[in-house]
Structure 1
Amino acid sequence: MVGSALAACCALAAAVCAGLPRWLDGFVLCRTGAELVNATGSELDKFVGRLAYGLFHGERVKTCGLGGRTSRFSIFSELMGAIPAGLHVTIIFFCSALIVFSSVSSGFFFFNAFGRPYETLHGPLGLYLWTSICCVCSFLVVVLFASEVKIERLSERIANFEEVTFVFQTHGERFDVCFWSLLVVFFLHVLNVAVIRLAGMNFPMLWGKDSDPSGGAADLMY
């Protein structure tokens, strides 16, 4: 039951985080405006805007000395030509896989708690399989998004999209609550592996047993 609850929480957390624009919170400097007036020190604050986004949409506040301009944007309808689209779609794919396999893992945890483990996919080995897939997916989501932000300079790409007059550069950025939640999801799935190991000691499947000669027909049903 503990493993089922953890896996269900992971699936819910991943689904919620995927839709929220709280993956990164950053500051962008209007370099063009700052250079025009030779702004230094505290004067730079007048040229620093905000940027927050997630996998699908976000918000930016561009400040170039004359107040901020707030705008919302959608990644897929507006920015696909400006961002590394292949990498971004890959992140969404693994995030979707994480949601699906976390749900599957939760179901099999529940089945093994109240049902009768069946061969490889329904016994402890199956739980190891589903949980390991969840671990890999959550780890890849975190690593790939961090790479997109730091290596591909995603914040600057978004800030400079369709800008002709001004040039913006990253002034500071930090990963937000959704990113860290996905990292927590990864560790929760790692914890689930430990739960399987402890609970699996009570399952005959963990130590192996002789196959039932009539199991061939049952195999086809699964």
Structure 2
Amino acid sequence: MCQVFTRSDGTELEILHPPYCEICGNPIPDSFALSHPYCGACKDCSDKLHPIVQVRAFGKYYYEDEKPDDVLSNEIRRFKRDKRLAPLLLECMYYAIDVQYPDLQELDVVIPVMRGTQDGGYNQSGLLAQGIAAHYGKPFVDVLYKQQPYRSMHDIHDHREKEAEIAGKIGCNYVFESDESVLLIDDTCIDMVTKRECARVLKANGASTIKSLVIGRMVNRRHMETLRRYND
């Protein structure tokens, strides 16, 4: 099933519709939703009943060599160097909050993930978080930072190596009030490593519930083909 959102510029974009993993937001087969609402990677997580962070996404994100003509994925990549795309991408995130995941409106503060490892440029997650905070009348708190350098997560393919690379290298310069909940904003979610480390630091500084909203949840052709076979 395909559901679309028509943006103000006339562009039709496919949204990420249920069922999806309760933790990472990855699309899952219809049958999984009935028995256990988790993807293969999250079903064995020790904290799956009380996850440190849950990720929700407006749509799907494909690497360029997987689906080079995907409009949303190309816009996300362009956004890393062209901030003029912010209003159009924010429309997608507003739709996600208003229609797909209205429970996100109940969270207290809006926080962007820290700036990436690239030199120069700007923090695209910060622009998105500022827009969301202003739109919904929430406090915008830019408190996460790199306290030690680390390699780009995109350059590391082993999941455990990623976790080891980023562990302990993110800081937070804010102490949360009791039971203060967080909407953590990023442009994409690839495999949860960065989101989990951010959430760990936020929890250590007093945050309660943490949910993350991204524009695109990374999927690949193999995963989507498997999904179609299960559903058929």
Normalised by the shorter chain, which TM-score bucket?
Answer: under 0.3
Q: Provide the TM-score with structure 2 as the length reference.
A: 0.23
Structure with the bigger RCO (C-alpha within 8 Å, sep 6+) is 1
Structure with higher helix content: 1
